[in-house]
Structure 1
Amino acid sequence: MTQAKQRLLYETDYLQWIETTVDDLRQGHYDRIDWDNLIDEIEDMARSQRRSLKSNLIVVLLHLLKWQYQPEKRSSSWESSLLEHRYRLRDDLQDSPSLKPYFETILAESYIRATKQAKAETGLPIDTFPTECLYDVTSILDDDFLPD
């Protein structure tokens, strides 16, 4: 299949485009590869991994804040959500260790987003929550850590 047909296939049948591209790569038919879309897809994969990490981090921080600042409403569902999203964080970091510096870079920003969400979900004033994140990376990833 020519590059032009591959580009058209990308627009009309994404799964078939992937399968054809993989097959062409395996067979060494590099002249048939839709390089522009393949490069875009690889870049999207990296962005997707970063988005996933950030999303899971915000959920963990949100539940830690709710756990700490609404002790009367603690529930097994919060604890379960913490476990699940911590698993996801650790899986992401294990699969892609190069995400660790990114994790540390986005911690402060993610914490701010988590405090805003905690305010919205709990009804507590925003100044209830510290402006700086009290949780370090080790605590965030530790299944047994629950703030008092």
Structure 2
Amino acid sequence: MTQTRTTLDVAYDEDYQLWLQLTVQKLRSGEYESVDWECLIDEIESMGKRDRHRLKSNLIILLMHLLKWDVQAEKRSGSWESSIIEHRRRIIDDLEDSPSLKPYLITILDSAYDTARRRAKAETGLPLQAFPANCSYSIDKILDNS
């Protein structure tokens, strides 16, 4: 059955924030038959992907600064320390909001470490071999605020 484009469909294509507002309004008022379920399901799936992407991005930045901190002790700066604190806090906050992301964090650790290692090389100008080939940081160490 083909469906004509409704105001809600057009809003999704043309104005994402308006689409969100209209969808919430329809859900709250019980107008379930007029909800664009396909787009809503896609959006919910995208939310999970964004959360995982954000977690991985924060992990990479945290690992990169931990590597630089360990390898270049003589160049430690408040900026690096601040970045370590901030990205650690972001990861911890994400895990507190969604504890089910912790297994994902463990799954992506090696990949994130490889990326962080290459970024640390690029930022420091040191050879890649200056940074350990394998991640020596446990999840507990990565998340340790002390």
Residue 102 of structure 2 corresponds to: 100
Q: Which amino acid aligns with 2:25?
A: D
Q: Percent identity?
A: 55
Residues 89-119 of structure 1, C-alpha deviation per residue, up to 9 Å, x if partnerless?
Answer: 0000000011000000000000000000011
Residue 111 of structure 1 corresponds to: 113
TM-score between both structures, scaled by the size of structure 2:
0.94
Q: Summarize the alignment of residues 19-58 of structure 1 with structure 2, pairs less than 5 Å apart.
A: 19-58=21-60
Q: Which of 99-108 and 27-36 deviates more? A: 27-36
Task: Please give the alpha-carbon distance, in whole angstroms, between the structure 1 residues aligned to 2:110 and 2:32.
Answer: 43
Task: Please give the alpha-carbon distance, in whole angstroms, between the structure 2 residues aligned to 1:3 and 1:17.
Answer: 13
The CA RMSD over aligned residues, in Å, is 1.1
Q: Which amino acid aligns with 1:93?
A: L
Q: Which amino acid aligns with 1:58?
A: I
**Secondary structure in 1 aligned to 2:6?**
helix
Residue 121 of structure 1 corresponds to: 123
Q: Which amino acid aligns with 2:115?
A: R
TM-score between both structures, scaled by the size of structure 1:
0.93
Q: Summarize the alignment of residues 60-99 of structure 1 with structure 2, pairs less than 5 Å apart.
A: 60-99=62-101
Superposition deviation, residue 128 in structure 1? 1.1
**Secondary structure in 1 aligned to 2:110?**
helix
Q: Which amino acid aligns with 2:51?
A: Q
Superposition deviation, residue 4 in structure 1? 2.4
Task: Answer whether contact 1:3 1:34 (CA < 8 A) is retained.
Answer: no
The total of aligned residue pairs comes to 143
Superposition deviation, residue 17 in structure 1? 1.0
Residues 45-94 of structure 1, C-alpha deviation per residue, up to 9 Å, x if partnerless?
Answer: 00000001000000110000000111111001100110000000000000
Task: Please give the alpha-carbon distance, in whole angstroms, between the structure 1 residues aligned to 2:77 and 2:21.
Answer: 45
Task: Please give the alpha-carbon distance, in whole angstroms, between the structure 2 residues aligned to 1:27 and 1:59.
Answer: 43
Task: Please give the alpha-carbon distance, in whole angstroms, between the structure 1 residues aligned to 2:75 and 2:128.
Answer: 18
Q: Which amino acid aligns with 1:5?
A: T
Structure 2: give runs of 5+ residues left out of the alignment: none
**Secondary structure in 1 aligned to 2:10?**
helix
